[in-house]
Amino acid sequence: MKKDAKITKKKEIMISGLFVVLLVLINYNIAHSTVNHYCNPGIAFGVVLPTYLFTVMWVATMSIVGYLYMTSHVNKKNNVKRLGLLMIITGGIANIIDRFLHNCVIDYITLVPWNSFNLADTSIFLGAMIVLWYQWSEPKSQSPDIDSE
């Protein structure tokens, strides 16, 4: 059973890697095209943080999410949670690669005049919503000390 879990994790990581490459290629092509885009040097809503603070926050967040992914068991019950965690990881990696390539994140989807975002941001947001949904909908196990009648 452990061998199957390792194979599944490897497949998930390979597919996630391909998704990161796809996101980076989309952003790169948009950055070098005539498509209307915005170069966001900050985080969400254009908030600019000092480089050291951004780096610490990014590394801490990716470490926590990566740890949660690596320690989650491969089974049908956890598949949704694992998908959400991988979506957060792939979006975060794609955005950090954007920062290295362009010194900013390329945002190109504008739904409201004061904010733009990209597919990596969407992946992070949807992944977080999936993990939260999973946590809230997961049945709680009862403590053995509680008598249920």
> Is there a contact between 5 and 70 (Cβ–Cβ < 8 Å)?
no
- Identify the residue whose tokens are 């009862």: 142
Which residues have a Cβ under 8 Å from the Cβ of 5 and sit 6 or more positions away? Answer: 73, 74
Catalytic residue among 4, 107, 145, 147: 107
Residue 2 has a CB neighbour count (10 Å cut-off) of 7
Q: Is residue 121 annotated as a catalytic residue, yes or no? A: yes
With H, G, I as helix, E, B as strand and everything else as coil, classify residue 106: strand
Catalytic residue among 4, 98, 121, 147: 121
Q: Is residue 107 annotated as a catalytic residue, yes or no? A: yes
List, by residue number, the catalytic residues: 107, 121
